[in-house]
Chain A
């Protein structure tokens, strides 16, 4: 490998990236947009649930239940009176309230929680919080023994979504930048005919491959830094682990993503095809790698796909280092799988890349 030749190619790539303001903007702005989306908007922490309480004469405990609910930050009790269960259901249907509560009877008949099943997170939070309130009430009234244990939540005691999403976002942003940008960068050369000019130069296929992906390695690592710094300083996500370990393992993950990008470029004729194919590989990574939904919640019929994508192995690494201060002692199985994955993908991509050249 001739370093000066390679540096000439990398220099040319950087000039082109610098001139392509739209793409450059995308590579820098996207991490920020995603930070906002996943840090603020895509929050699963539901509070201030608008709540209706059935308060007809047949429910003498209604005032007490309303007071109890109002004491919780999770429920905003509607001042509108609902006489019956049917009134509550109608209010939920029309969106006046999100949940309805029918108070228990004095004779011990249990109360009812009516929730809108189409609003999953709200329903789950309401159910969980109401159970906790009921337990508290029971203890207060001495009608049932106290709960024999207390809850201790590790690492994320407030159960903030940001503390789980932002470390995961580190991986998602790198997957996006590395896969799409690499695929597009290589296919652009082919589409514009400039790849032929590169092929008649003394650049070897390895130099060509490294020269094409090197700028995206740098940009992806800058994006990683943006997400981590913004996560810590803007979203107050605690960074508990070793930043160098995160950087090192991120690099291995990055190679795997770049390999996928290169593979996509070898089967695409146009940038449009490359974009479509890259998105095709990205969607399962974002949806079923455990970034949003827990892996264990995904049935095996689909879950096996998750084990084919590198993000599935990187998420435990970045969440582990970020939030739990895990070290290589704990993370080595994931690191090993990622290393093998990266080696296999980059070798396959290099082979395909070389074959496509001539």
Chain B
């Protein structure tokens, strides 16, 4: 099953991984940290994957070091799922090579959809995936007890997996991937379709696994989740860009972010944004209207255009706005991952200084 160009130099030895590696990285560009050099578990060298005429991945180089906590971000269709599948050994690259130093027994994978057996109970699913990896009898019972408690499914052990809620299914997926204590855990959009409480719990489980020494790679479209990782890889048009403080500073040079705090009238702002058609660099975030511009004048101009189109604004009169809107209240903020994402995705990262 292994591709010919894939070297399986199965590593022996105990799991390693300092717990401090799994701490959440500080938000924003300034918080992006470099990964310390460690032996890599999987290494992609010039990997390309082609589906028909479309390149899902192009010439991707990526090393996943032992103990790393890596987020792969990108828009829908950017190639995230393909990349994590290549890392997990589920997809053969069309070109390039994959070097693996972790045996299959020690790789855990959980897909974006529920990919366990709905007609088996929670315990039967765990028993099957543990037993094909050699974890049986007393060792399995101990591990199952521990993992079920960890994911909060002890009470549901005898329930058919198909009868679990979406969040519980995701937890079962994680449990099945973690029960044999893998060295490498690969997750494809682990919290998609999950409520905020379950999301928080899922990340708690992942963080715990990571603290115990498991190397984690996950794909996500949620940038707040990517910020939990110590290393972020951006996929765009099948190519990866590694985020590091230097690269981030380079990419965002000349760009500033502003927020017009406005929590109460998001509905009007959303309508106004759609009417203005200013592109992805003016968008709504938790705190209000976010703008990526080169300077305050440009930010005020763009904010004014949006506000003038908000429902309730007198036609053609930018100075008359719904109560609460005031361009002068624009606040400068640090560029975060969302902003980086927008700049890279739209190619604006290359446009520095001067006009936009």
Contacts and interface: CB of A to CB of B under 8 A. Distances in A.
B116 interface: yes
A197 B131 contact: no
Interface in A243-269: none
Interface stretch (A83-91, A164-172, A200-208, A294-302): A200-208
Interface in B114-132: 114-120, 124, 128-129, 131-132
A358 B82 CA distance: 12
Contact of A200 (B3, B88, B92, B136): B88
Given A197-B129, A197-B176, A200-B89, A12 B120 contact: yes
A135 B133 CA distance: 78
Contacts of A8: 128, 131-132
A15 B120 CA distance: 8
B124 A203 contact: no
A202 B103 contact: yes
B175 interface: no
Contacts of A20: 119
A16 B160 CA distance: 11
A128 interface: no
Contacts of B131: 4-5, 8
Contact of B114 (A12, A193, A357): A193
Interface string A17-45: 00110000000000000000000000000
Q: How large is the interface on A (under 10, 10 to 19, 20 to 34, 35 or more residues)?
A: 20 to 34
B107 interface: yes
Q: How large is the interface on B (under 10, 10 to 19, 20 to 34, 35 or more residues)?
A: 20 to 34
B268 interface: no
Contacts of B104: 200-202
Contact of A12 (B105, B109, B128): B128
Interface string A342-358: 00000000000010011
Interface in A40-94: none
A150 interface: no
Contacts, number: 76
Contacts of A358: 1, 3, 89-92
A192 to B, nearest CB: 7
A9 B113 CA distance: 22
Interface in B122-165: 124, 128-129, 131-134, 136
A199 B1 contact: yes
B117 A12 contact: yes
B108 interface: yes
Nearest to A200: B109
B17 interface: no
B111 interface: yes
A187 to B, nearest CB: 15
A143 interface: no
Given A12-B120, A15-B120, A358-B89, A197 B133 contact: no
Interface string B1-36: 101000000000000000000000000000000000
Contact of A197 (B85, B92, B109): B109
Contacts of B118: 192
A312 B28 CA distance: 71
Interface string A167-198: 00000000000000000000000001110110
B117 A194 contact: yes
A16 B116 CA distance: 12
A188 to B, nearest CB: 10
Interface string B221-237: 00000000000000000
Contacts of A196: 85, 90, 109, 111, 115
Contact of A15 (B89, B105, B124): B124
Contact of A193 (B1, B115, B129, B132): B115
Given A19-B119, A197-B116, A202 B129 contact: no
Nearest to B112: A193
Nearest to A16: B119
A16 B89 contact: no
Contacts of A19: 119-120
Contacts of A15: 120, 124
B125 to A, nearest CB: 9
A166 B88 CA distance: 51
Q: Which of A4, A354, A358 has the most CB of B within 10 A?
A: A358
Given A8-B131, A203-B132, 14 more contacts: A9-B128, A12-B128, A16-B119, A16-B120, A192-B115, A192-B118, A197-B111, A200-B90, A200-B109, A201-B129, A201-B133, A202-B103, A202-B134, A358-B91
18 contacts: A5-B132, A8-B128, A9-B128, A12-B117, A12-B128, A19-B119, A196-B85, A196-B111, A197-B176, A199-B89, A199-B90, A201-B132, A202-B103, A202-B105, A202-B132, A354-B1, A357-B1, A358-B1
Nearest 6 interchain pairs by C-beta = A193-B115, A8-B131, A200-B109, A358-B92, A202-B104, A201-B132
